[in-house]
Amino acid sequence: MLCIAIVTLSSYSYFSHILSTRLTPIPHVTNITWTDQYKVNGQKLRGFAKLPNGQRVYIIFTIQSEQQKKKFEGQSLSGSVFQVSGELVQPSMPAHRYAFSMANYIESNGAQGIFEVRSFQFVKKEKSLSTFFAEQRFKVKKQIENTFPESLVAEAQSLIIGERENVETDVERAYQKLGITHLFAISGLHVGLVSVLVYELLLRFHIRREHATWVLIIALPIYACLAGGAPSVWRAVSVVELVMLSRIVSNRLAIDDALALSFIGFVLLQPSVVFQIGFQLSYLATVSLLFSGKIFLLAKNTWQQSFAITFVCQLLVYPLLLYHFFEISLSSFIANIFFVPLFSFVVLPANLLLLLLTYVAKPLAWLCFLIYEPVRGLLSVCIMSLQAIPYQMWTPGRPSLWLLLLAFVSVIVVLLQVEQKKHWFLITLTLLIPAFFIHESPSWHQNLKITFLSVGQGDCTIIELPFRKGIYVIDTGGVLRFDQEAWKESRKPYEVGRGIVVPYLKGSGIGAVDKLILTHADADHAEGAEEVMEEIRVKEIHVSPNSWQMSVMKDVVDFAQKKRIPIREQIAGRSWKHGDTTLSYLSPTDLIYEGNDDSLVLILQHSGFQALFTGDLEQSGELTLVDNYTEAISDMDILKVGHHGSKTSSTKPFLNLVQPRLSIFSSGLNNRYGHPNKDVVARYEEMKLPTLNTAEVGTIEVTVTKNGFTVFKTINLHKQKKTSSK
């Protein structure tokens, strides 16, 4: 008890000290020392650096010239000390509750915040062990880039040094669909294989076991540093080190105790590491394997044992995967049986051997590449073909806390039942009942829900009918891309559909959209449609007459034809009804597409509630609505303001008629167009019409009840997290 008290008080004092350093203000001019966690992408240099007091901070610097960029790319910045001037800024608000949170990312890496740098001045290069290893890792990275065929570079960098920045988006998604993403990164399995290979090689050279053990004890931390030091790598290395050291001192340490000590050590060194997804998955997967020995003994052959290992590991982590990624790969239970041995015993050793040959025998390396590259290409074709098989992903959305706990309990019960050789029907029932509740829970909501997604300078609205009887998406956002110098372009251009819209749909458990409504042919409304269709099943697309002929819509039309998704032109007067909900088009009234005023205008009526969605409608279109639908559009509950609140929208006659109880501006923060226009905002204030702007409050969720409607804003959740972190 005395020891526990001492440890508790010491830990409290230690963590309090760490937290207090985060509250220390950063001067506008200070020195920073780069870590090896940084990236040069496009015109931005981003990454983690250390301040003179030892606290970490996330640095953002806008590169001024192509020559400066080449200088940063041509050397390892780890250990480089710069005097910088700038200021600490708040992380941007996440687009919605399921979106990437910069604040959470910074916190999980133990950093104080974001420091935007205005000027750099090199001071010195620190010499340390970590800097030396970072230099060697950088050299290996460049060696791979300079000697490997282009098609093999990304994989080799991922498997050998844990560098995944060059992996193509479609390749990464293919691995996700098959549930084998972990093979494309250095993991505990890699550490184990390297350990066995080195150990056996040393024994073949007639080195004594004791000496071979010491070589491994020294070599494994070096390998972890060269491999990038991911949590899964250090977890495996630390456990192996503890077990081997215990054997040397003749006091055998149990592996589960070694794992526990490793966990404690991680938390002491960096408390915030527990928030990293890789850390959580790594330890949970290891625990599942450690305590499932009896299950593995039931396997009668190698294939059964492979399936048992995959089954146990995937089963225990599936609730956590659903919480973080909102979906899991059903094919992973089979795919891992084949791909784990293939990557472990063929692909990884092949890459290690090829890298070695590029140093000692380049002609022989090129000969091996001539053989290996086409073979590896066939494997890639096979993987891309397998990932194209439909219905591989289960996307029930993020489960509630009680369903998450129920899923974990059911998994533990299932594993106990398997150990006790219970009947397979009972085991299946125990597993599927919680999964059924998780799958069905999104459709239990009895209210109409309208979500105005924060997609930057663009529009995206999601309508969910009660009990999910219908899902309609109005526009998908997009990025207005402008020509710029080649060196300023990012390796992977930002995609609103993939980065914001799809995560919200998946996080909400929406796997299919009944109608995708693209109001008109502007990039900020339709560019993300293709990315949405790639991930979410779309049953049909509605467009304004002849808008599909515009160049902006070409990729959408081509993809829709490829997937056989019908594209239907809509016009004023068309409508459909589902239960108490009626949706009708009020515009356009002709078949000639001329731009914003030919946007599809949709009115939703639900048990006395009315909402009007106007696309990019401007003055002429609004006045046409006033003339043609005087009674229909009066006294609206919700208005999606036309054209992001530009000066050509929200005319007085239109607002006098509509009189919305709440108006939504969908715009980007500090956008170049100045939307919403200050005169338009003043007009709403003058008429005492309440407004909300996605640029200011994030995603806006409106839930319609019998007594009216309630509004949830992302900024509420963001403020709550900031308060709790303080």
| Residue 225 scores a pLDDT above 90 | no
Choose the weakest-confidence range: 161-165, 593-597, 617-621, 655-659: 161-165
| Residue 16 scores a pLDDT above 60 | yes
Higher pLDDT pick, 421 / 413: 413
Residues 667-692 pLDDT 10s: 988 888 899 999 999 999 999 999 99
Give the pLDDT score at 370: 93
For residues 182-189, average pLDDT? 69
* Dihedral sign of CA atoms 17, 19, 20, 21 in order: positive
Q: What pTM does this model have? A: 0.90
Residue whose C-alpha is closest to residue 92's, from 106, 105, 102, 104: 102
Of the pLDDT bands very low, low, confident and very high (cuts 50, 70, 90), residue 323 is very high
* Dihedral sign of CA atoms 704, 705, 707, 713 in order: negative
Higher pLDDT pick, 725 / 217: 217
pLDDT above 90: percentage of residues in the chain = 50
Number of CB atoms found within 10 A of residue 725's CB: 11
Residues 351-388 pLDDT 10s: 989 999 999 999 999 999 999 999 999 999 999 999 98
Element (DSSP H or E) covering residue 37: strand 29-41
| Residue 249 scores a pLDDT above 80 | no
CA distance 540 to 515: 5
Residues 483-504 pLDDT 10s: 778 888 888 888 899 999 999 9
- 393-394 and 328-329 beta bridge pairing: antiparallel
Of the pLDDT bands very low, low, confident and very high (cuts 50, 70, 90), residue 237 is confident
Considering the chain, what is the average pLDDT of its residues?
A: 88
User: Would you state the structure tokens that stand for residue 310, as one six-digit string?
Assistant: 């995959």
CA distance 339 to 382: 11
| Residue 720 scores a pLDDT above 70 | no
CA distance 610 to 622: 17
Give the pLDDT score at 273: 85
Eight-state DSSP code of residue 310: H
CA distance 32 to 58: 10
For residues 217-245, average pLDDT? 79
Give the pLDDT score at 318: 92
Of the pLDDT bands very low, low, confident and very high (cuts 50, 70, 90), residue 288 is confident
| Residue 600 scores a pLDDT above 90 | yes
CA distance 680 to 106: 37
Give the pLDDT score at 724: 36
Give the pLDDT score at 23: 64
- Report the amino acid identity of residue 316: L
Q: Helices 169-178 and 362-387 sit at what angle, rounded to 10 degrees?
A: 60
Residues 424-480 pLDDT 10s: 899 999 999 999 999 999 989 899 999 999 999 999 999 999 999 999 999 999 887
CA distance 519 to 585: 11
| Residue 722 scores a pLDDT above 50 | no
Contact 213, 247 (CB under 8 A): yes
CA distance 617 to 628: 15
How does 63-72 read in b/e, with b if 16+ C-beta sit within 10 Å? beeeebbeee
CA distance 337 to 298: 17
CA distance 4 to 25: 34
Give the pLDDT score at 128: 85
Of the pLDDT bands very low, low, confident and very high (cuts 50, 70, 90), residue 215 is confident
CA distance 461 to 100: 19
Of the pLDDT bands very low, low, confident and very high (cuts 50, 70, 90), residue 320 is very high
3-state class of 314 per DSSP? helix
Q: Which residues are CB-neighbours of 173 under 8 A, at least 6 positions away?
A: 387
DSSP string, 267-282: HHH-GGGGG-HHHHHH
Residues 504-558 pLDDT 10s: 999 999 999 999 999 999 999 999 999 999 999 999 999 999 999 999 999 999 9
CA distance 444 to 441: 5
For the chain, domains (ranges, CATH) are: 27-126 (2.40.50.960), 136-291+330-395 (no CATH), 445-725 (3.60.15.10)
| Residue 725 scores a pLDDT above 50 | no
Please state, in angstroms and as integers, the Cα–Cα distance from residue 28 to each residue in 47, 87, 107, following that order: 18, 5, 21
Give the pLDDT score at 218: 84
Of the pLDDT bands very low, low, confident and very high (cuts 50, 70, 90), residue 188 is low
| Residue 639 scores a pLDDT above 90 | yes
User: Would you state the structure tokens that stand for residue 339, as one six-digit string?
Assistant: 């791909």
